[in-house]
Structures are given as C-alpha cells and as structure tokens.
Structure 1
Amino acid sequence: MQNRPENFDETRLWDAAGEFGISPSAVSYAPVGFGDHHWQLTDDDGRPWFATVFDLDHKEHCGQGAAAALDGLRRAMDTALTLRERDGLRFVVAPVPTKDGSPLVPLDARYALALFPHVPGRSGRFGQRLTDAERDQVLELLAKLHGRTPPQSTPATAVEPTGPHDIRAALDDLGGTWSGGAFAEPARQLLAEHAAKVRARRAEFDALTEEVRGRGAPLVVTHGEPHPGNLILGEDGYRLVDWDTVGLALPERDLSLLSAEPAELARYTELTGRTPDAAALALYRLRWSLLDIAEFTRWFRGAHDRTEDTGTAWLGFTETLDRLARPA
C-alpha cells in the first residue's frame, strides 16, 4: 500500500521485532503492493528483513471479523512454513517464526505482523504478461505445490466465498446516495450502469459453480494468487510471496491466473498428467473479478478518504467492471 495504516504506531515494529529475535537498527516504510503494509528492517548485523503488517479488518478471505481473520492468517502462515521446511519447497517465501515458533505477532486488535527474509531479485507486477517460457517456469512450481500432501493447517477455500453476497447487497442499495467518501457516489453510479451485466455474470458464476462442483475433482493445496505481482525472479528461479491466500481448492484456482486456455497450460499437464478443466478455469477467473468488485464496493460504501490507495482501488474497480462487461 502507498499509504501507511490508519491509527498505527510505527514504534510497535521495533518492540515486536524482538519476538523474532531481531534487533532493528533502521526501519523504513516500503510503499509497495496492494492490500498489506510493508516495512524494510535492518538489524544490528546489517541484515535486511521485510516486515508485513496485516490489517485484520480487511482480511475477509482469512475470516469474518478480526479475531477469525487472525486465526485464518495464522493457519495460512503455518502452511507456508510447513511447505518450505517440511516439504522442501524453496520457492515458498515463508515467514520467519518467532522465538516461540509462531508465524506472526498480533500487534493489537486490528493489526498483526509477520517477518520475512529479504529476497533479492526482480519483482513482477500485477497484469504483467509472462512469456511462454516464463509461464512454464511458474507452472513447474505449481505442479510441485499441487503435488504435496496438504499440511493439516491448510485453510479450506470455498468455491463460493462471501464476496458475491456483498455484491448482491450493493446492487440492492443502488437507489439511494452513497456517502462514505470521495468515491462513494461515483462508485454507486458506475455500478448502476453495469448492474445488469454484473447480475448476469453472477448468475453465470452460480451455474459454473454447480457444473464444476458436480464433477467432484480432488482438491490440492493452492497459493491462490500466483500472478506476476507475487513473483520474484532471482538467480535460482522464481519465488512466490504473499501466502495469506493459501488454501485447499481445485488446481484451476492457481492455473486460471496464468491462462484461460488449457493448451497454454500444457507444461502442467506434462508434469502432473492432469488436463486443466476449461469450465473450472472460467469459474475461477470470474470468481476473481467478482471478489474484486465485492472488495471495492465494500470499500467505497464505507468511510474513506481520497488517497493514492483509494485512487488505485477506483482504477481497479473501473477496469474490473469493464472486464465483466466484455463477452464471456
């Protein structure tokens, strides 16, 4: 995020770092990514670390409410640690455990901290198009991940999450004025313009859910968001970051972010013997867009200010609505 978290005292990081056995000599905010807040830490020995502060009030995919989100987030981080340490998946950028073995530290009722080793390399960006060779490299990582026995801590990931229900609530609230902040009323007007198409795509999502669920395909441990923005390319290949979305799901949850065409996922089939399901790919791509709409409308219907982050959210909102309006 470009903006620092609300009502957050940065000095908490200095104290909390000690629970990981780290004594910071320098702490600086890193305005990168979207969703979580990040800082760069340097310890007394000059080693760099990457600190992530999670806003539990906005971690609905981990659990509804801050307490449930903290539990779900802890399970996700434990899963990443197990995949790296037990299963030897070195591409998993897992958090550093505390001295007590926990993967994160609650800072207060709203925020929690995880600490990661600094990973040198070139970061990708969301929306970046991978070459065929690059996509195959990521598919090789996913084939290894999907082939592992899911750790007991792996969160369950519902095909139909709560997000689409939030969309229905927003669509039912288009008759009045939204007054949460600078983007509230523009968001209402734009959603109203696209309401018919959003409802149609929501119905399409329901139909795909029934079709895919009826096939009874086995679930695997998935990352959830293996797009280029969560990839770091180093000398030894790609690393995957941001494991708070890890969960049991169909493989297409991950594969759909690399391509909608099974033919472009041939390397995955070579390694696993499993041909990606076109209907499941379509389901998860549509699921991603609907969850984005749900998150943005929830944000704009609530209290907010005009900031760099809400500006980014507005751009994402308009782009996602435009994408939903295109032919399926």
Structure 2
Amino acid sequence: MHEPPQDVSTDEVLQRVRTLWDPEVTALEHLAVGFGGWHWRADARGEPRWFVTLDPPLWHTAESAEATYAAAASLAATLTCVHASVPSAQGRFTSTLGPGWLSLTPWVTGRRPTTIDADAVRAVRDLHAAPAPEGILTWEPAVSPELVDELAALTAEPWTAGPLGEPARRAVRAGLADVRRGLTAYLRLLDRLDPSAYVPTHGEPGVHNQWRADDGRLLLLDWETLRLAPRERDVLAGYADLLPHDPALLDLVRLEWQLSEVGSYAEWLHGPHQDDADTRTALGGLREELAGLAATR
C-alpha cells in the first residue's frame, strides 16, 4: 500500500521483527510499493537485511496465511525461483499483528524486469510441474451468482461515506450491464473446471511480482496467492502466448479476476475512506476492471 497502516505503528512492527526474527534489526523504513499489503525495509548493521510485509485480512485467515507461506517455503526447497518467507524463532512464517499478519523475506538487491523472459516462463513451468506441497490451499471460484443484484442494491443510493464514493458508485452503476454479461459467461464456464488437473499456481506471476537479483537469479515474489488451481490462473498474467492453456479456462480466470475486483473495490469505496494514494488507486482499479468487462462485448 502507498500509505502506512492506520492500526499498526512502525515501532510495533520493529519490536515484533526484533523479538521474533532478528534482534539485530535497528530501523524500519516504510516502502510505498505494491498494492494489497504494507511493506518496510528492515536494516541491520547499517545495511538492508529484510523485506517486511504486513498482509491485511483480504484473502486469508491467520491460519490459512501461515499454511500458505509454509507451503511456499516447501516449494523453495526445490525451486530456486521461489522467494519465500523465513521462519521466526517460534518456527512460524507469520505473526498476527493488528488487523493482519507479519512476515519477512530476505532483502535482495536487484531490479524489476520490464518483460516476461525465458527465465520467467521456465519458472512458471517448473512451478506447475512441482508436486503440491503439504498445506497448499485449493483455489475455488469466489464470485457470487448474485453479484449483479448485490451491486444494483448497493448503488441504488448515494455513497457519502468518503470523498471518492460517488465517482465509484456512478462507475459501477454505468457498468452493471457489462458486469451482468461477464457474470453470465463466468457461470457458464464453471462447468469446464476439473480439480483433478489443478497444479500449484502463484496467482500473479507478472513482472510486478518478479525480481532480477544482482547475481542473475529470477525470483517470484509475494506468495500469499499460492493456490492449487487451473494453470490458466498464472497464464492470465501475460503468458498466453508463452505457455499451453485452455482458452476457455483463461476466459474463466480473467472473468473471475475482473468480477471479484469490481466487487471488492465497490465494497471498499462504498464504506468510510479518505482521499489518498491507496483509494485513488482503488478507484482507478475499479474503472480499469469495468472497462475490461466492457471490452469483451
């Protein structure tokens, strides 16, 4: 997230990191990177040592977050592309703090790639070929068949709880026909799912979750979305011309993403909020997903 969390202070994060992971850490710096979690750089002996993440309760409970990060660490034992969290002194990969859970990955100097290259394709292929690690969650379709009716009811009255509410409401209201069309296609495609063919998937292996280390390694970051799922869940992230896939299932996971994002952003901006970098990003994301649904007419 671009803004620091309101419910947890940097000092609280620092003390938890020092107590459970590394007593040599002396300072944290909030990083306005990514979207969906809060991040800090943790310094020790005058050098960056850890990348600290506080995940909000968007996709997980405390138990499922721990299981997911443990599963990612298991994959990292055989897949060098998996940049997994490290266990604490208690042997756990997460620690509940405020509204979410804290985790640490090693700080690696490098840069974010600008394109999906052969190493990235190889990394995703290797992930899909790996045995399912113990504890991995299974992806399940999450879009309610009642989504259009829920959005119609939600947008029937003005959204006055925050400054971006009305622009968001108007965008959703104008896009209801496109949401309805997308939902109809999505529900029809669910019959194509075959759980017996599911493989370990990252969920978002695009360039925004890749890191080219200075030593040449390509790393996949942010494993909170690890799931046993159709391989098309990863193909969606820019690999459609690079990896084999079922086009119909690719449409399914695209619609799953677009429809669920519209629902999540609508719920966020309907409620109390400020006009800040995060809510402006949310409004932009809402409009982008609605435009994507409109483009498939």
TM-score clears 0.5: yes
Runs of 4+ in 1 over 6 A off after TM superposition: none
Q: Does 1:99 align with 2:78?
A: no
Q: Which amino acid aligns with 2:259?
A: L
Question: Identity percentage over the alignment?
Answer: 27
Asked if 1 retains the 8 angstrom alpha-carbon contact of 2:121 and 2:239, the reply is: no
Structure 1 partner of 2:294: 325
Structure 1 partner of 2:4: 4
1:223 is aligned, of 202, 219, 227, to 202
2: CA distance, partners of 1:156 / 1:283: 16
1:89 is aligned, of 56, 70, 79, to 79
- Cα pair distance change 1:296/1:196, threshold 3 Å: same
Asked if 2 retains the 8 angstrom alpha-carbon contact of 1:2 and 1:31, the reply is: yes
Q: Does 1:207 align with 2:196?
A: no
Structure 2 partner of 1:271: none
Q: Secondary structure at the match of 2:103?
A: strand
2:259 is aligned, of 290, 298, 303, to 290
34-43 or 227-236, larger mean C-alpha shift: 227-236
- Cα pair distance change 1:181/1:140, threshold 3 Å: same
2:172 is aligned, of 188, 191, 212, to 191
TM-score by length of 1: 0.85
- Cα pair distance change 1:237/1:46, threshold 3 Å: closer
TM-score by length of 2: 0.93
Shift of 1:174: 2.3
1: CA distance, partners of 2:144 / 2:218: 31
Q: Which amino acid aligns with 1:9?
A: S
* Per-residue Cα deviation, 1:208-243 (whole angstroms, up to 9, x for no partner): 112x22x56511111011111101122423211110
Please, which runs of 5 or more residues in structure 2 have no aligned partner?
none
Asked if 2 retains the 8 angstrom alpha-carbon contact of 1:14 and 1:23, the reply is: no
2: CA distance, partners of 1:122 / 1:163: 39
1:75 is aligned, of 50, 67, 72, to 67
Shift of 1:164: 6.6
Q: Which amino acid aligns with 2:101?
A: A
Shift of 1:74: 0.9
2:277 is aligned, of 298, 305, 308, to 308
Shift of 1:84: 0.7
Asked if 1 retains the 8 angstrom alpha-carbon contact of 2:145 and 2:187, the reply is: no
Structure 2 partner of 1:41: 42
Asked if 1 retains the 8 angstrom alpha-carbon contact of 2:148 and 2:176, the reply is: no
Shift of 1:73: 0.9
Aligned positions, number: 295
Asked if 2 retains the 8 angstrom alpha-carbon contact of 1:167 and 1:293, the reply is: no
* Per-residue Cα deviation, 1:233-273 (whole angstroms, up to 9, x for no partner): 2242321111000011011110121244xxx12xx4xxxxx
Q: Secondary structure at the match of 1:244?
A: helix
2: CA distance, partners of 1:52 / 1:25: 17
1:239 is aligned, of 199, 214, 219, to 219
Q: Does 1:31 align with 2:32?
A: yes
2: CA distance, partners of 1:209 / 1:71: 28
Structure 2 partner of 1:122: 111
Q: Secondary structure at the match of 2:108?
A: coil
- Cα pair distance change 1:312/1:45, threshold 3 Å: closer
Q: Secondary structure at the match of 1:172?
A: helix
- Cα pair distance change 1:241/1:168, threshold 3 Å: farther
Asked if 1 retains the 8 angstrom alpha-carbon contact of 2:8 and 2:97, the reply is: no
Q: Which amino acid aligns with 1:283?
A: L
Asked if 2 retains the 8 angstrom alpha-carbon contact of 1:92 and 1:240, the reply is: yes
2: CA distance, partners of 1:47 / 1:40: 7
1: CA distance, partners of 2:228 / 2:132: 8
- Cα pair distance change 1:162/1:322, threshold 3 Å: closer
2: CA distance, partners of 1:15 / 1:8: 12
1: CA distance, partners of 2:258 / 2:275: 23
Q: Which amino acid aligns with 2:272?
A: A
- Cα pair distance change 1:305/1:167, threshold 3 Å: farther
Q: Which amino acid aligns with 1:20?
A: W
- Cα pair distance change 1:193/1:2, threshold 3 Å: same
Structure 2 partner of 1:13: 13
